[in-house]
Amino acid sequence: MSTRVEEADLFTVARRQFERAIPFVHPLDGWRGMAELLFEPEKTIKVTLPVVMDDGFVHTFSGYRVLHDTVRGPGKGGFRFHPHVDENDVKALATWMTWKCALTDIPFGGAKGGVTADPKSLSDDEKQRITRRYIAALGDHLGPFTDIPAPDLYTDAQTMAWVYDTYSMMHPGQNNLPVVTGKPLDLGGSAGRDTATAQGLFYVFEHLLAMGALPAMPDLVGVRIAIQGFGNAGRNAARIFSQAGARIVAVSDSQGGVHDPNGLTLTHVELHKSETGSVAGLPGTTPLEPHEVLEVPCDVLIPAALETQITAANAKKIDTKVVIEAANGPTTPEADDILSDRGIPVVPDVLSAAGGVVVSYFEWAQNLANERWSESEVQDRLRSTMTRATDAMVTTRAALLDQLDTYRVAWGEARPDSILASPTFRTAAHVVAVRRCRRATEQRGIWP
C-alpha cells in the first residue's frame, strides 16, 4: 500500500485543480464568493458505526458522506471501504463527482461516501453489517431524489444489494430501486454497469485518437499499455484494450505487479489472480513493486487503483506517451505540471473515469421508468455521451488557448497565477463542468 505524500491532501488537490479553471469561468466582479459557493461542499456527514464483529466483540467504525453540489440534480457518487478514508478524501471525491456529472451532462450533482476500514481484514458478513449500519445511520440523507450511492473501491454489486435492501426495509411500499446504482442485474442493475468505467475510458481514448488529439499515437493496434490496479476499472480496461488490439505490458495490484514487454497473456493473469489473490508472481514475467508499474516503458499509462499515485517524486520517471486516468485523483497538480512540461498529455479522471456514473444514470432512469435497456442500447448511449464530453473538453481547450491573451487582459492585476499557464485537458474539462454549474446556479438564483 503506498503512503500519502505531503503534496497530496486530496481536498487541496481538488481545490488547486478548480483554481486553475476559475480564471476562465469568472472574469467577473465578485468572483471569489461565487467560486467558493461552487467549490465548498453543501453537506458533510460523519457517522459512528458500532458493529459486532465475527469474534463477538464490538468495533466502532467512522463513516462519511459528502454532498458536494446539487444545483444540477441529486447527489451521485460511490462509497468505499478503505483505511485511508477521511473527511478530506471524501470531500475531494465528491467534488470530482460534481464535475464528472456536469461534464458528461447527466442530471446529477456530486456526492461520495466511505467507511474507514481495511476491507481485506473484513469477512463478507462483517462488510454486510457495516454497510447496513452505515446506510441506516445516513437515513433520509440518502434517497432516489437526494443522494444516490454506487460502488467504488472495495464495494461491488453485492454491497449495493445490501444498500438497496436496507433502504427498502426503512421505506416499504414504494419503488426504491433508484436509491442506489451498480446493483446486481436481478435486482434492477443495468446491463453494462460492471464494465462501464473501463468502457467509458476506452470510448474517450478512441475518440481522442479519431480527433487526432493525441498526436504521438496515431493508432491503437500494438500500443503498449501499463495499468496500475487490477480491480473493476483496471481489469476491465486490460480486457477491453487488449480486445481492441493493444498490448498489455504491465499490470499491478496492491500486492505487486508483473511486466512483460512482449505483452502479457491476460487469461494467464486472470487465472493467477483468481488462484492466488494477486497478479504478482505470474510465472514467466518480471516482478514489479506495486508502484513500479507506473514507470515501465509504455505508450498508454492507466492509473486504476488509488489517488495521488503520480506525484512530483515519480512524474519525471514516467515513460509513456499519454496518461489516461481511471482512478479518481491519481495525479497531483505538481505531477500534472511536470508531465505537461514533458509534453505528456493527461486525460483527466473527470472525463475518462466518468463511464461508471454515466451508466449509473442509465440504471437510475431505467429503475424510475421500470424499464430494461439492452446491452447494445446502453453501449450506444454511453459511447455518444462520452464522445460529446470529449468533444466539449477538446474544443474548450482549443478555445482557451486561442483566447488566452484576452483572458489575461480581462483579469488585469487581479489575475490568479494559474492563468499564466497553458490550459491542460484537465483544466479544460474543469472549465466546461464549472461553467455549467455556474450557469445553473445563476439561473436558479441564490435563495432567498
Residue 173 Rama label (left phi>0; alpha psi -120 to 50; beta): left
For residue 40, CA distances in Å to 32, 37, 156, 448 come to 12, 6, 29, 19
Strand-pair partners of 77: 149
Strand-pair partners of 114: 64, 80
Q: What is the dihedral sign for C-alpha 265, 267, 269, 275? A: negative
The least CB distance from residue 401 to ligand NAD, in Å, is 28
- Residue 74 or 149: the one with the smaller Cβ distance to ligand NAD is 149
Q: How far is it, in rounded angstroms, from Cα 93 to Cα 402?
A: 31
- Residue 70 or 197: the one with the smaller Cβ distance to ligand NAD is 197
Q: How far is it, in rounded angstroms, from Cα 345 to Cα 301?
A: 11
In the list 305, 315, 351, 382, the residue contacting ligand NAD (rule: CB under 6 A) is 305
- The answer to the question of residue 231 lying near ligand NAD (CB under 6 A) is yes
- Residue 232 or 311: the one with the smaller Cβ distance to ligand NAD is 232
- Given the C-alpha cell 505483452, which residue does it identify? 263
Q: Which residue is nearest to ligand NAD (CB)?
A: 231
Candidates 41-49, 231-239, 392-400, 402-410; binding stretch for ligand NAD (CB under 6 A): 231-239
**Per-residue binding letters, 329-358, with ligand NAD (x by CB under 6 A):** ------------------------x--x--
In the list 264, 306, 344, 378, the residue contacting ligand NAD (rule: CB under 6 A) is 306
- The answer to the question of residue 2 lying near ligand NAD (CB under 6 A) is yes
- Residue 329 or 423: the one with the smaller Cβ distance to ligand NAD is 329
In the list 179, 225, 233, 346, the residue contacting ligand NAD (rule: CB under 6 A) is 233
DSSP state letter for 2: P
In the list 11, 39, 154, 167, the residue contacting ligand NAD (rule: CB under 6 A) is 154
Count other C-beta atoms under 10 Å from residue 403's C-beta.
12
Query: Strand, helix or coil at 280?
Result: coil
* Catalytic residue from among 76, 91, 100, 112: 112
**Per-residue binding letters, 244-263, with ligand NAD (x by CB under 6 A):** --------xxx---------
In the list 197, 340, 385, 424, the residue contacting ligand NAD (rule: CB under 6 A) is 197
The least CB distance from residue 270 to ligand NAD, in Å, is 12
Largest CA distance in the chain: 67
The least CB distance from residue 445 to ligand NAD, in Å, is 32
**Per-residue binding letters, 124-153, with ligand NAD (x by CB under 6 A):** ---------------------------xxx
Omega of the bond leading into 218 within 30 degrees of 0 (cis): no
The least CB distance from residue 28 to ligand NAD, in Å, is 33
In the list 17, 166, 328, 427, the residue contacting ligand NAD (rule: CB under 6 A) is 328
Query: Strand, helix or coil at 3?
Result: coil
Q: How far is it, in rounded angstroms, from Cα 167 to Cα 329?
A: 30
Q: Is 112 a catalytic residue?
A: yes
- The answer to the question of residue 308 lying near ligand NAD (CB under 6 A) is no
In the list 10, 22, 327, 431, the residue contacting ligand NAD (rule: CB under 6 A) is 327
Helix residue ranges, H only, 314-374: 333-341, 349-352, 355-369
Count other C-beta atoms under 10 Å from residue 297's C-beta.
13
Q: What is the dihedral sign for C-alpha 432, 35, 96, 373? A: negative
Q: Please name which of 256, 350, 440 lies closest in space to residue 20, comparing C-alpha atoms.
A: 350
User: Alpha-carbon dihedral of residues 372, 375, 381, 387, nearest 10 degrees?
Assistant: 160
Residues labelled catalytic: 112
Interface positions with ligand NAD (CB under 6 A): 1-2, 151-154, 197, 228-234, 252-254, 290, 304-306, 326-328, 353, 356
